[in-house]
Structure 1
Amino acid sequence: MKDVANCSKCGKIFVKALRPICQLCHKEQEDQYDKVSSFMRRKQNRMASIREVHEKTGVELTVIHQFVREGRLQTKSFPNLGYPCESCGAIIQEGRICGECKDNITGGLDQLQKEKEFEERKEAERRAERNMGTTTYHSLKDRL
């Protein structure tokens, strides 16, 4: 049986095939892409910011961000375009989070790992101190 879903844009019920939106919303989205793409292809507009593209075309910022995120608008050709970092909202051109947020996350993970290793060393030292009085020695003479 086909998957039936609600369109994430308009809420209408449709048969879900390739996209999470209905055919009518997809057509509208493609019209918006054509509007933004034709605006950006003009030589004088290639350095336009997202805000300028929004103001000149009337296309919502979130939709323009989506086009950049999907790679439909190449940041190599249009260097002032980007989309917000999922963590802090800074404008980025690739990935899901900016370099600063990535460094914060990896730094925090590194710190947790160091703390864990420190606690393991402390526990090993405590065990060694407890076992000091019960050390057993074996003679090599008995094994030969």
Structure 2
Amino acid sequence: MAEIRNCPECNEFFNYTGLRDVCHKCAQKEEDLYQIVYRFLRKRENRAANVERIEEATGVSKDLLYKWVRKGRLHPATFPNLGYPCDNCGRLTTTGKLCDNCQNDLKSDLRTFDAAKEFRDNIAQAERGTYLADKKK
């Protein structure tokens, strides 16, 4: 079901359906800017351009470029120097919310936590022990 929201760009009301996060006018402006960026990147000499170079040449903001990469409209496989900031450290990444280094750190921390938990559980199990009383007495 749709809801009424304010456009984050122009502050106009629009009917939010989950497809776009801006109003129709701003979405059209974004699409026009996307076409400018895409035309720029299609030129062979610009395919390896990074975000700063694209921003300088086209005037499109970094945030908008990051949004298009995150949504898959600009593919890092085709344009190798594109990415968006990691949610943890800010380094550029091309998939997910975390860069490879942050993912590896998180996985390492989880393995350490699991090993410590297993160790604590084993100690608790050993301390409980089971004692049987002699039934003949």
With normalisation by structure 1, the TM-score equals 0.85
**Distance (whole Å) between structure 2 residues aligned to residue 102 and residue 84 of structure 1:** 14
2:21 counterpart of 1:3: no
Q: Which amino acid aligns with 1:67?
A: W
Secondary structure of 1:4's partner?
Answer: strand
Identity within the alignment, %: 34
**Distance (whole Å) between structure 2 residues aligned to residue 121 and residue 34 of structure 1:** 61
Equivalent positions of 1:19-58 (< 5 A) are 19-58=20-59
Q: Which runs of 5 or more residues in structure 1 are unaligned?
A: 139-144
Deviation at 1:32, TM superposition (A): 1.0
Secondary structure of 1:102's partner?
Answer: helix
Q: Deviations over 1:85-137 (max 9, x none)?
A: 11111111222211111111111111111111111111111111xx4xx4146
Q: Which residue of 2 aligns with 1:141?
A: none
2:109 counterpart of 1:108: yes
Q: Which residue of 1 aligns with 2:15?
A: 15
With normalisation by structure 2, the TM-score equals 0.89
Q: Which amino acid aligns with 1:20?
A: D
Q: Which runs of 5 or more residues in structure 2 are unaligned?
A: none
**Distance (whole Å) between structure 2 residues aligned to residue 3 and residue 59 of structure 1:** 29
Instruction: Summarize the Cα distance change of 1:137–1:113 in structure 2 as closer, same or farther, 3 Å threshold.
Output: farther
Superposed structure 1 runs of 4+ greater than 3 Å apart: none
Rg larger for = 1
2:136 counterpart of 1:135: no
> How big is the alpha-carbon RMSD for the aligned residues of Structure 1 and Structure 2?
1.9
